[in-house]
Structure 1
Amino acid sequence: MLKVENLNVHYGVIQALHDVSFEVGEGEIVSLIGANGAGKSTVLKVLSGLHRLTSGKILFHDQEIQKSATKKIVESGISLVPEGRHVFAGLTVLENLEMGAYLRKDKGNLKKDMDHVYERFPVLAERKNQDAATLSGGEQQMLAMGRALMSKPKLLLLDEPSMGLAPIFIKEIFAIIQEIQKQGTTVLLIEQNAKLALSIANRGYVLETGKVVLSGTGEMLLNSDEVKKAYLGG
């Protein structure tokens, strides 16, 4: 579904990514793990058109998208849940969800998809007329995910979904990610909690200082001495 080839990315004179290559197959959960500053979030920014690459190729369903505008990337079926959630303060939960469907042409199906989001995240239905800024961190994460799902993505990009959340919310968010995959959406997950990310991943890649240094199945990486030492505390 997604093929990234030799991605090089700069912020001014600083090179953030060095020849990064990876693939995401249809129906998979693929996790990118690594320490702070490894380049994980930069990957998602480039995939969603928020930052331009220096060189390399991004193929989505065999079509090159590295020069496409963000709007076109969303329309092609890629949706990002950004780090830090970024819900629209001053808008209600319902209005935030409607913003997720802004580019959709099939407006007749919005109510059905809104109902699906409410089924998946019942708390959003309870708070649909509440200002999004007044939700708890976990509820805002659910809203950000629901908003992304309203665009009907084929590929969902998740940037640090567990960041700043209480353990009870983290467990719930990761169960929902698995449920989203089971219902047919492919997931690329960027996550600092390596153990959790790999435990639900079909495959994973380890990024260090902007380079892919290790790849394999989620189970293989979980059991790797190198990964255990660097990311799993022994």
Structure 2
Amino acid sequence: MMILKVSDLAVNYGAIKAVKGVSFEINEGEIVSLIGANGAGKTTILKTISGLLKPVEGTISYFGKDLKHKKASHIVAEGISHVPEGRHIFPGMSVKENLQLGAFLQKDRTQVKELFTEVYSQFPILRQREDQDAATLSGGEQQMLAIGRALMSKPKLLLLDEPSMGLAPIFINKIFEIIKAIKNRGTTVLLIEQNAKKALSIADRGYVLATGEIKMEGTGAQLLASPAVQKAYLGG
């Protein structure tokens, strides 16, 4: 089943056309990756899907519902969670308090407890650090916290923006294993990632963006094998 369909999406930053007529789709249970150079429009697309930016043209359909005019909080309630570039955890608050903020729409205390159990099983280090100030975590632990916080809203679609940025290699590998595990638990993932090789290696399908437009699409394996993608993004 198609979970998200983006059609002819155009987004401007003032006079700058950041996204120009982009169309793509995501099926339930997939990892779909958007790759491209800085400034290609990847983050803009994620922000528009999650309601932080408004398009000038095009449609965003989620399970057949139009998201174009919905507020960001309503989009979260519909089942879309966004893990932004840079993590944006809340300093001065504990790990547990950060996670609780992710569950702000959940009214059932029993369900919140179940969500904590699920997140702690996925990220055991967060259970060990639950009373610690989130700002004192390592970069990799903060990324796990940002993903865990998003999972506390029980999303059907998880938007991940540059989850490996600034992390040590050991944490990069761990983060990609976590993304695969999230998919295996039934959450669909839209992934933006500068590490194109890693992103395409776990993606069911991918799209290549350049200057706000989609230039190529295919399975993760097809794009990994593409000479054009290798030359532009994989150092080949």
Which TM-score applies when normalising by structure 1? 0.99
* Partner-residue secondary structure (3-state), 2:12: strand
> Which residue is equivalent to 1:215?
217
Q: Does 1:54 align with 2:65?
A: no
Return the alpha-carbon distance in structure 1 between the equivalents of residues 231 and 166 of structure 2: 24
| Per-residue deviation, residues 82-129 of structure 1 (Å, max 9, x unmatched) | 100000111100000000000123332111110111111111001000
Return the alpha-carbon distance in structure 2 between the equivalents of residues 154 and 46 of structure 1: 17
Asked if 2 retains the 8 angstrom alpha-carbon contact of 1:29 and 1:202, the reply is yes
Return the alpha-carbon distance in structure 2 between the equivalents of residues 79 and 131 of structure 1: 23
Amino acid of the residue matched to residue 189 of structure 2? Answer: V
> Which residue is equivalent to 1:77?
79
* Partner-residue secondary structure (3-state), 1:91: coil
Q: 1:1-234 maps to which residues of 2 (within 5 A)?
A: 1-234=3-236
Return the alpha-carbon distance in structure 2 between the equivalents of residues 191 and 22 of structure 1: 17
* Sequence identity percentage: 63
Amino acid of the residue matched to residue 183 of structure 2? Answer: Q
| Per-residue deviation, residues 17-58 of structure 1 (Å, max 9, x unmatched) | 000000010000000000000000000000000011111000
Return the alpha-carbon distance in structure 1 between the equivalents of residues 108 and 55 of structure 2: 32
* Partner-residue secondary structure (3-state), 2:8: strand
- Report the RMSD for the aligned CA atoms in angstroms: 0.6
Amino acid of the residue matched to residue 103 of structure 1? Answer: L
* Partner-residue secondary structure (3-state), 1:84: coil
* Partner-residue secondary structure (3-state), 1:141: helix
Matched residue count: 234
Asked if 2 retains the 8 angstrom alpha-carbon contact of 1:75 and 1:104, the reply is no
Which TM-score applies when normalising by structure 2? 0.98
The ranges of structure 1 where at least 4 consecutive aligned residues each deviate by more than 4 angstroms after the TM superposition are none
Return the alpha-carbon distance in structure 2 between the equivalents of residues 45 and 89 of structure 1: 23
Return 5+ residue gaps in structure 1 as ranges.
none
